[in-house]
């Protein structure tokens, strides 16, 4: 996995690269910077609203920030998207997370 610095350089080449935005969010979440992670998940979803795992991991970061109602809303939105695009694996994982939230 590229470093955060490498990902940020890639983002300057294409600010609308959903994968790079998602990867930056993941890097922030990995080290506990959940507010920054949520910001980048949101940017990812603005570029590609069908990026199912961005919903899942955004909800995880929201949960870490003690924002369970926001996490549940994010998961419900993600469930709708996963159903619409036919991503059964993401759908199952988000429904499972929502059930225990």
10-22 tens-digit pLDDT: 889 999 999 999 9
Asked if residue 23 lies in contact with residue 16, where contact means CB atoms within 8 angstroms, the answer is: no
Burial of 94 (0-12, 13-18, 19+ CB in 10 A): buried
Domains, the chain, with CATH or none:
4-100 (1.25.40.10)
Report the chain's mean pLDDT, rounded to a whole number. Answer: 96
**Percentage of the chain lying above the pLDDT 70 cut:** 99
Q: How many degrees, rounded to 5, is the angle at CA 80 between CA 20 and CA 34?
A: 40
Enter the tokens of residue 25. 């969010």
Confidence bin at 3 (pLDDT 50/70/90): confident
Q: Which pLDDT score, from 0 to 100, does residue 1 have?
A: 66
Tokens coding 74: 């994010």
DSSP code of residue 45: H
Task: State the pTM of this model.
Answer: 0.93
């Amino acid at each position: 996995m590229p470093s955060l610095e490498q990902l940020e350089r890639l983002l300057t080449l294409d600010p609308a690269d959903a994968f790079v935005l998602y990867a930056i969010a993941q890097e922030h979440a990995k080290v506990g910077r959940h507010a920054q992670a949520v910001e980048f998940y949101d940017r990812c979803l603005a570029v590609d609203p069908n990026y199912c795992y961005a919903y899942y991991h955004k909800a995880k970061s929201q949960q870490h920030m003690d924002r369970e109602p926001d996490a549940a809303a994010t998961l419900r939105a993600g469930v709708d998207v996963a159903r619409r695009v036919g991503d059964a694996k993401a759908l199952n994982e988000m429904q499972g997370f929502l059930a225990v939230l």
